[in-house]
Amino acid sequence: MHFVGIDIGSVASKIAIIDEAEEQVGYCVTDTTPDIDETAQELLDRALAEMNLARFDVAYIVGTGYGRSTISLADENKTEILCHAAGVHRQHPAVRTVIDIGGQDSKVIRLNAAGKVANFAMNNRCAAGTGRFTEVMAKALGIELSRWGEVVRSATRREKISSICTVFAESEIISKIMQKVPLNEILAGVCDSIATRIIETVQRVGGSEPEIAFTGGVANNEGIRLVLEDRLGTSLLIPRIPQSTGAYGAAVLARKAWGKRGGLATSPAV
């Protein structure tokens, strides 16, 4: 039997397939479209085809993410907080703090020793400090996201970026480029401003406790990881596919729900 988690995010939609040992055996990602059901169905079809599985091989599906309530092919849905907690705890049981930066929001979750959510805080009021923010800055600076690590490493100082709002920060950056501030220093400043937003959220949950995991698509950004580690004064644990953490956690919760039902599968359309 297999179990599926589908995470319909604000920017990207992800699917994870796990086996009965909770090993992630399949993963796909695609852009989120306005038709959430179609996005979910396309992900499921793709993942099953890649895995050579049929729909009846899947016992239970949990949906999560901002579009979770409208995934009609899911058996139930769970919040992103619960799914990220479950996904991290299953892979890294020593983790007590999870920093998740997605496309349009960021969150910090505190876990207890049993992996249960002890506290959390979210920043979902604006795009500052999220994946969207990094995309706008990458364009303004002409530095692809995949190069942020090497560029940030080459900077000897971080230019202060005062604007929080994405639109104002973009104008500020353009004016700094005009003033001939070195691009690597501006980029290091951009990463620093994102780290500041995250640290404010960390403080709202009462501080970070090691081990600290970094999840979400932005955890792939080495520049942000480097500055965040420097500001927090500790290294961060990055899951193997950080963007899949919510979907993986949803799949783990799907397996648990299936177990509670006595191992009875729902009746999927075959």
Beta strands in 193-244 (DSSP E): 212-215
Contacts of 128 (CB under 8 A, 6+ apart): 164, 165, 166, 169, 193, 197
Neighbours of 179 (CB within 10 A): 9
Q: Which CB, 59 or 220, lies closer to ligand ADP?
A: 220
Query: By rule CB under 6 A, what string of x and - marks binding of each residue 114-133 to ligand ADP?
Result: -----------------xx-
As measured in angstroms, the least distance from the Cβ of 256 to ligand ADP is: 22
Q: Does 166 bind ligand ADP (CB under 6 A)?
A: no
Among 5, 26, 87, 103, binds ligand ADP (CB under 6 A): 103
Stretch that binds ligand ADP, among 4-12, 116-124, 150-158, 168-176 (CB under 6 A): 4-12
**104 lines the binding site for ligand ADP (CB under 6 A):** yes
State the nearest-atom distance from the C-beta of 135 to ligand ADP, in Å.
Answer: 5
In terms of CB distance, is 232 or 250 closer to ligand ADP? 250
Residue closer to ligand ADP (CB basis): 110 or 132: 132
**DSSP secondary-structure letter at 237?**
B
Of residues 242 and 258, the one with the C-beta less far from ligand ADP: 242
List binders of ligand ADP among 182-221 (CB under 6 A). Answer: 216-218, 220-221
Say if CB 157 and CB 188 are below 8 A apart.
yes
C-beta neighbour count of 75 within 10 angstroms? 20
Query: How many alpha carbons lie under 13 Å from residue 213 in its C-beta half-sphere?
Result: 29
The phi, psi pair for 63, rounded to 5°, reads: -100, 150
- Minimum distance between the CB of residue 242 and ligand ADP, rounded to whole angstroms? 8
Among 95, 98, 145, 191, binds ligand ADP (CB under 6 A): 145
Among 24, 97, 134, 184, binds ligand ADP (CB under 6 A): 134
106: region left, alpha or beta (phi > 0 left; psi from -120 to 50 alpha): beta
Task: Output the smallest distance, CB 5 to ligand ADP, in A.
Answer: 13
Shortest distance in whole angstroms from residue 153 CB to ligand ADP: 16
Q: What angle separates helix 183-204 from helix 222-232, to the nearest 10 degrees?
A: 60
> Residue 3 in contact with residue 58, Cβ under 8 Å?
yes
Size of the site for ligand ADP (CB under 6 A): 19
Residues counted in the chain = 270
Strand 117-123 with 106-111, pairing: antiparallel
Q: Rounded to a whole number, what is the largest CA-CA distance in the chain? A: 66
d(CA 261, CA 145): 44
Smallest distance, Å, CB 201 to ligand ADP?
15
Residues that bind ligand ADP (CB under 6 A): 9-12, 65, 102-104, 131-132, 134-135, 145, 216-218, 220-221, 243
